[in-house]
């Protein structure tokens, strides 16, 4: 069922590629958070290996060359994991990419169904159509980026994590979690290359709309 759904219009991806030159600390981004929140969904994808011809409305991709690794202790919340990563000696003014592989005691993930024109704003879509799943004791990978406040017109300031299960059947935007034992790989990113959409909103995304999308209140029973 999940594979038939759009598991997340906001795709984040990290690929571990050993042996690339050290100057490759660049992230590639498709579109902006302002565009996505305003309903710029053309190019949505589902969770599967993508063909080069497929499009996505938003993506951040980096060829991960980890600069350090950190053991992830079991029993940490999303906020505690973020704080542990924040304590690593990297610049808060640059992008930090993180990949956490391991077992997770519990995860609460969110996705949205595929959208058709005319598009509503992402805040409206999430209010009425977000699908929340709770996973228990699952092996998989967290992928995430921490963007600096200076980049808040094009991406989300602070941490943003997505999860993909090891069997590639479950995935989504992470709302909450409890870690099991795992390992985090991190890399500081100095450069960002953005492909701007041809049609974009005239204004930037508001802090309120970003919060409503990133950490929305979940109704009891969901
Ligand atoms: Zn997300």
**Are the C-beta atoms of 202 and 33 separated by less than 8 Å?**
no
- The Å distance, Cα 175 to ligand 1 centre, comes to 9
Question: How many angstroms does the Cα of residue 171 sit away from the middle of ligand 1?
Answer: 10
11 has a pLDDT exceeding 80 = no
Ligand 1 centroid–CA 73 distance in Å is 23
- Please check whether residue 175 is in contact with residue 132, taking contact to mean a CB–CB distance below 8 angstroms: yes
Of these ranges, 25-39, 84-98, 203-217, the one predicted with the greatest mean pLDDT is 84-98
**Residues 132 and 170: beta-carbon distance below 8 Å:** no
- Gap from CA of 9 to ligand 1 centroid (Å): 8
Query: How would you classify residue 219: left for phi > 0, otherwise alpha for psi between -120 and 50, otherwise beta?
Result: beta
E strand segments, 31-170: 59-64, 68-72, 95-111, 131-147, 158-165
- Are 45 and 11 in contact by the 8 Å Cβ rule? The answer is yes
Distance CA 94, CA 150 (A): 9
Distance 174 CA to ligand 1 centre (A): 7
Token output for 92: 């808060």
**Ligand 1 centroid distance, CA of 69 (Å):** 23
18 alpha carbon, distance to own chain's centre: 22
Query: Looking at the predicted structure, is the pLDDT value of residue 77 above 80?
Result: yes
pLDDT at 14: 55
35-45 confidence digits (pLDDT tens): 888 777 765 54
CA of 194 to the centre of ligand 1 (A): 18
Between strands 11-16 and 95-111, the pairing is unpaired
pLDDT of residue 5: 36
Q: How far apart are CA 146 and CA 150, in angstroms?
A: 12
Handedness of CA 143, 146, 151, 157 (dihedral sign): positive
Question: Rounded mean pLDDT of 85-109?
Answer: 96
Span 37-72, pLDDT tens digits: 877 776 554 466 778 887 778 889 999 999 999 999
What band does 116 get if pLDDT is binned at 50, 70 and 90? confident
Q: What is the pTM of this model?
A: 0.82
Q: Where are the alpha helices (DSSP H) in the chain?
A: 33-37, 78-86, 122-129, 207-214
Instruction: Tell me the backbone φ, ψ of residue 126, rounded to 5 degrees.
Output: -70, -35
Taking CA 11 as the corner, what is the angle to CA 201 and CA 161, rounded to the nearest 5 degrees? Answer: 105
171-180: string of b/e by CB count within 10 Å (b at 16+)?
Answer: bbbbbbbbbb
- Omega before residue 35 within 30° of 0, cis: no
First to last CA, the chain: 17
């Amino acid at each position: 069922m999940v594979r038939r759904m759009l598991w997340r219009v906001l795709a984040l991806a990290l690929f571990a590629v050993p042996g690339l030159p050290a100057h490759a600390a660049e992230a590639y981004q498709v579109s902006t958070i302002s565009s996505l929140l305003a309903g710029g969904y053309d190019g949505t994808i589902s969770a599967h290996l993508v063909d080069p011809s497929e499009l996505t409305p938003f993506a951040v991709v980096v060829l991960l060359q980890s600069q350090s690794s950190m053991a992830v202790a079991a029993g940490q919340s999303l906020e505690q994991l973020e704080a542990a990563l924040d304590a690593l000696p990297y610049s808060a003014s640059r992008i930090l990419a993180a990949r956490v592989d391991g077992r997770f005691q519990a995860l609460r993930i969110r996705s949205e169904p595929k959208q058709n024109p005319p598009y509503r704003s992402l805040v409206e879509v999430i209010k009425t159509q977000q699908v929340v799943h709770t996973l228990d004791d699952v092996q998989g990978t967290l992928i995430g980026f921490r963007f600096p406040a200076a980049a808040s017109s094009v991406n989300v300031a602070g941490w943003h994590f997505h999860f993909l299960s090891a069997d590639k059947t479950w995935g989504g935007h992470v709302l909450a979690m409890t870690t099991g034992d795992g390992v985090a790989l991190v890399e500081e990113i100095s450069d960002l290359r953005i492909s701007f959409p041809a049609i974009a909103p005239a204004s930037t995304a508001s802090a309120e709309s970003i919060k409503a999308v990133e950490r929305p209140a979940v109704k009891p029973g969901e």
